[in-house]
Amino acid sequence: MLNLDYTISNLKGKTILITGGASGFGAAFAARWASAGAQIIIGDINPAGETIVAQIRTESANENVHFIHLDVTSWSSQVNFFRQAVQLSQHGGIDAVVANAGINDRDEARQLENPTVDYLNDPHPPAPSSKTVDVNLSGVLYTVHLAQWFLPRNPDSQPCSESEQTSHRDRHILLVGSTASLHPLISQAPYTITKHAVLGLFRCLRVTAPVSGGIRVNIICPYFTDIGLMNAPARVILAGVPIGQPEDVVEAATYLMANQTCSGRSLVTGPRLKLGLPDRALLSRESLDEQTGEGEDSERGVWECQLHDVETADIFTERMLKAVKAVVATRGWIGWAKGLAGALAWPVMKNWNKA
Ligand SMILES: NC(=O)c1ccc[n+]([C@@H]2O[C@H](COP(=O)([O-])OP(=O)(O)OC[C@H]3O[C@@H](n4cnc5c(N)ncnc54)[C@H](O)[C@@H]3O)[C@@H](O)[C@H]2O)c1
């Protein structure tokens, strides 16, 4: 098993919301974190979540595990989920939100690329289904939007910090992407585009959320894993190919959840392999800079990805600040203020000139 640097007791007393927690990864996260003493609130469209909650309560000897009916595609259902969660929370706040609910509807994917409706003659031709987009993208956006409102209001929480390993009240969004966030899953366009979009969301929020709401944002991108969405057709296609172990996905997610210095981190999980590649996984950015690039030969199923993106964003921000400073230095603060006033007045002047 991997040696990840976290203190599991940090999860004790944390209130964690998990969408799509009635089965698969969501249920596995819930079981692991409930055993560590976290308060878990599962939201799922599947009423089987009640049974899962009862089972987790018994196995973890933790009564603070709850199920709330949730349809992530419905805004009112999501608002209700967050409001009820705050009511249930032992400390009146939410420490972490896992936007995990997701589907992969292969029929929808096939129909999208193979239209069968007679669009010339059908009097009422139906639009193609957008179910996958509704769940995997709109649903995630609703969840994340509400998380960005509720997390900074978590009583006694502090803005996230990459430098300090603490166990104070948290503000954490964990996104669930896929390796389909990083490369196309040919013939499954809806799933691919939604998982690419979740990665795009992560790449934006990892920069802004720590600043705007003190929220740390991380993502896991699992490869095909022996759980949940891995249905019979997928197993046939992948027959003989090694697939990911659910324990590695749970371990990667637990690391990101329990180690509060993790911010803007993206972990890929997959089959356990010895790749002999530089050990880029599970390192802070600072220690990554010090890497010699030597290959490592131990077997692992968790890897860091998209690190270059942090550097690109940092360089962009740094250059923007330098450019602003250069303008201020050349024109002086008064010149800069005049320029800004001109920019703000531009919409009014534009309409004035039109009239
Ligand atoms: N299993 C894999 O191989 C794999 C690989 C990469 C990524 N993922 C991602 O992991 C996440 C969980 O998938 P899983 O494999 O555990 O599958 P799963 O089917 O076991 O879990 C998904 C859960 O989402 C729930 N859900 C579906 N529609 C919903 C809705 N409208 N509102 C609320 N809940 C809804 C389902 O009821 C289910 O409990 C998904 O985002 C998936 O894309 C899975």
Residue to substitute in 44, 81, 221 for testing ligand 1 pocket (most ligand atoms within 8 angstroms of CB): 44
**Torsions phi, psi for 271 (to 5 deg):** -65, 150
CA distance 41 to 162: 26
Does residue 30 line the site of ligand 1, with CB under 6 A?
no
pLDDT, position 67: 98
- CB neighbours of residue 324 within 10 Å: 11
For strand 300-304 and strand 266-273, is the pairing parallel, antiparallel, or unpaired? Answer: antiparallel
CA distance 355 to 29: 60
Confidence band (pLDDT; 50, 70, 90) for 168? confident
Report pLDDT for 297: 57
The CA 49 to ligand 1 mean position distance, Å, reads: 13
Residue 130 has pLDDT above 90, yes or no: yes
* 190 CB within 6 A, ligand 1: no
Q: Tell me which H or E stretch contains 69.
A: strand 65-69
Ligand 1 near 191 CB (within 6 A): no
Task: Decide: 229 in ligand 1 pocket, CB within 6 A.
Answer: yes
| Residue-wise pLDDT tens digits, 246-303 | 999 999 999 999 999 999 999 999 888 776 655 444 444 444 444 444 445 567 888 8
What is the percent of the chain where pLDDT is above 90?
Answer: 66
* pLDDT, position 292: 42
> Which atom number of ligand 1 is nearest to the Cα of residue 28?
16
Place 219 in a pLDDT band, splitting at 50, 70 and 90. Answer: very high
Q: Which atom of ligand 1 sits closest to the CA of residue 227?
A: 1
| CATH number listed for the domain at residues 8-305 | 3.40.50.720
Looking only at the bridges linking them, the beta strands covering 266-273 and 216-222 are parallel
CB 45 near ligand 1, within 6 Å: yes
The pLDDT value recorded for residue 293 is: 45
Q: What average pLDDT does the structure give for the chain?
A: 88
Token reading at 126: 């139906």
Task: Give the Å distance between the CA of 132 and the centre of ligand 1.
Answer: 11
> Per-residue pLDDT tens for 93-112?
999 999 999 999 999 999 99
Q: Where in the chain is the domain with CATH 3.40.50.720?
A: 8-305
With a 6 Å cutoff on the Cβ, whether 210 touches ligand 1 is no
User: Average pLDDT, stretch 213-241?
Assistant: 85
Q: Is 17 in the pocket of ligand 1 (CB under 6 A)?
A: no
* Residue 325 pLDDT exceeds 60: yes
pLDDT in tens, 51-72: 999 999 999 999 999 999 999 9
For the chain, what is the total number of helices (H) and then of strands (E)? 11, 8
**Helices 24-35 and 246-258, axial angle in degrees (round to 10):** 50
Q: How confident is the model at residue 5 (pLDDT cuts 50, 70, 90)?
A: confident
Q: How far apart are the C-alpha atoms of 158 and 302, rounded to whole Å?
A: 29
Mutation test of ligand 1: which of 56, 74, 80, 103 has the most ligand atoms closer than 8 Å to its C-beta? 103
User: Which of 141-150, 170-179, 186-195, 221-230 comes out lowest in average pLDDT?
Assistant: 221-230
pLDDT at 323: 78
**Residue 32 CA, distance from chain mean position:** 18
User: Under 8 Å CB-to-CB from 131, ≥6 apart: which residues?
Assistant: 103, 105, 108, 190
How much is the average pLDDT of 195-215? 95
Test site for ligand 1: of 44, 185, 229, 241, most ligand atoms within 8 A of the Cβ: 229
Q: What is the DSSP string of 279-304?
A: --TT--HHHHHT----B--S-EEEEE
What is the average pLDDT across 192-205? Answer: 96
Tokens of 63: 């009564």
Tell me the C-alpha distance between 251 and 142, whole Å. Answer: 26
What is the C-alpha to C-alpha distance for residues 168 and 21, in angstroms, rounded to an integer?
Answer: 25
Secondary structure (3-state) at 266:
strand
